[in-house]
């Protein structure tokens, strides 16, 4: 089943237009040059000075180990045998209102601008010292994308471990393209992302992932320190001169044609696209914001080729949404449309 992610299309001016639908009947085309799905993205220097502000708060509260105060007793030692071991607290109660707002505003803006997600989950703040780790798991119900924002002084660390580990997509589709003449090691099966200071790591939450065990550091200030959570609520929205009613009317016919062309889509994941609409109502550009679509073999129709499944969906979206016509308006608009295949 495919659902246009969210029960409505909204704009900063409010209002909604129903946009929930199921898609039917794939016809492979050959228009869109497919770069493949993107399951991992990193952004260095994400918060700038705000990252230093947040880090300073943490360091000051652990500066004097003999001093007792509420912010030293707010930590949950989360230990699930053979799965999770770390110290965590809610970031909203740890940082002051201004610093927390700067953090969440930056994350929310990124999710809307780059992923087609309208919100984030309440972020956790966690530190890892000797023996802390997260073994492989997947956070599928939480949101389509997970994030890790590092406040770790990675260049000054005295510990080993602490990387974010993710199973490579090739590992999850192991037998496709298997070559018995080539040996494999951990790096061929697992991708590891170093939590550099102020690095935002965003990844497909369906990917099994974890944190390699931290060893050799007992001081919280010297350990792995990260903010983490999920980007949530993939939802259509618009900005600019077009009203929500005009956007809904302009999308109605292209979506109907799109639904008629794809059935049932043999892919799973999220595709978020943004239409740049000119004042004359034509689509000047269609940009893919996020694409985690992979083939779902269980949905392939008899005789269908797995390699045709992604192109069928991507080309249909490109053709029908790229050819949308909206009402002429007084200026340019952007329309973001996420599709959730589940």
| Token pair recorded at residue 159 | 């510990």
Tens digit of pLDDT at every position of the chain (342 positions): 455 554 344 433 333 322 333 222 233 334 567 889 999 999 999 999 999 999 999 999 999 989 888 888 999 999 999 999 999 999 999 999 999 999 999 999 999 999 999 999 999 999 999 999 999 999 888 999 999 999 999 999 999 999 999 999 999 989 888 899 999 999 999 999 999 999 999 999 999 999 999 999 999 999 999 999 999 999 999 999 999 999 999 999 999 999 889 878 889 999 999 999 999 999 999 999 999 999 988 888 888 888 889 999 999 999 999 999 999 999 999 999 999 988
Which distant-in-sequence residues (6+ apart) come within 8 Å of 300 by Cβ?
266, 306, 309
Helix/strand/coil for 88: strand
CA atoms of 140 and 207, how far apart (whole Å): 8
Letter string b/e over residues 115-135, b meaning 16 or more CB atoms within 10 A of that residue's CB: bbbbbbbebbbbbbbeebbbb
**What pLDDT score does 4 carry?**
57
| Token pair recorded at residue 265 | 């889509």
Torsions phi, psi of 257, nearest 5? Answer: -65, -35
Contact 35, 288 (CB under 8 A): no
CA atoms of 286 and 323, how far apart (whole Å): 10
DSSP 115: I
Contact 123, 228 (CB under 8 A): yes
Taking alpha carbons only, the member of 279, 258, 270, 266 closest to residue 322 is 258
SS (H, E, C) 263-275: CCCCEEEEEEEEE
**What pLDDT score does 19 carry?**
34
Please spell the DSSP secondary structure of 224-237, one letter per residue: EEEEEEEEEEE--E
236: how many CB neighbours lie within 10 A of its CB? Answer: 27
Return left, alpha or beta for 317; rule: phi > 0 is left, psi -120 to 50 is alpha, else beta: alpha
Helix axis angle for 309-322 and 244-261, nearest 10°, is: 140
**What pLDDT score does 11 carry?**
36
What are the distances in angstroms from CA 86 to CA 94, 129, 162, 223?
17, 8, 11, 11
Which distant-in-sequence residues (6+ apart) come within 8 Å of 184 by Cβ?
none
**What pLDDT score does 108 carry?**
98
Predicted structure pTM score: 0.89
Contact 50, 99 (CB under 8 A): yes
Helix/strand/coil for 41: strand
Helix/strand/coil for 140: helix
């Amino acid at each position: 089943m495919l659902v246009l992610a969210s029960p409505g299309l909204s704009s900063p001016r409010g209002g909604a237009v129903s946009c929930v639908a199921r898609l039917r009947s794939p016809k492979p085309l050959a228009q869109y040059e497919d770069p493949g799905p993107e399951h991992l993205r990193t952004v260095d220097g994400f918060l700038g000075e705000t990252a230093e502000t947040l880090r300073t708060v943490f360091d000051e509260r652990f500066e004097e180990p003999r001093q007792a105060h509420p912010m030293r007793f707010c930590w949950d030692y989360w230990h699930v045998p053979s799965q999770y071991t770390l110290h965590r607290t809610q970031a909203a109660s740890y940082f002051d209102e201004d610093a927390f707002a700067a953090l969440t505003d930056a994350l929310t803006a990124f999710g809307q601008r780059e992923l087609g997600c309208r919100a984030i989950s309440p972020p956790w703040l966690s530190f890892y010292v000797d023996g802390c780790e997260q073994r492989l798991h997947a956070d599928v119900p939480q949101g389509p994308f997970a994030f890790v924002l590092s406040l770790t002084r990675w260049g000054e660390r005295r510990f080993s471990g602490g990387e974010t580990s993710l199973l490579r997509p090739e590992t999850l589709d192991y037998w496709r393209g298997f070559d018995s003449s080539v040996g494999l090691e951990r790096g061929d099966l697992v991708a590891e992302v170093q939590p550099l200071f102020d690095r935002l790591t965003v990844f497909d939450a369906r990917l099994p992932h974890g944190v390699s065990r931290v060893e050799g550091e007992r001081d919280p200030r010297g350990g792995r320190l990260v903010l983490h959570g999920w980007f949530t609520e993939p939802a259509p929205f618009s900005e600019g001169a077009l009203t929500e009613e005009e956007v809904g009317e302009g999308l109605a016919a292209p979506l109907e044609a799109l639904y008629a062309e794809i059935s049932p889509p043999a892919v799973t994941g999220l595709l978020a696209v943004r239409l740049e609409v000119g004042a004359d109502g034509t689509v000047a550009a269609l940009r893919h914001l996020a694409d985690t679509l992979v083939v779902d073999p269980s949905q392939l129709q008899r005789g269908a080729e797995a390699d045709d499944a992604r192109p069928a969906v991507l080309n249909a979206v490109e053709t029908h949404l790229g050819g949308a016509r909206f009402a002429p308006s007084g200026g340019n608009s952007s329309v973001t449309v996420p599709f959730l295949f589940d």
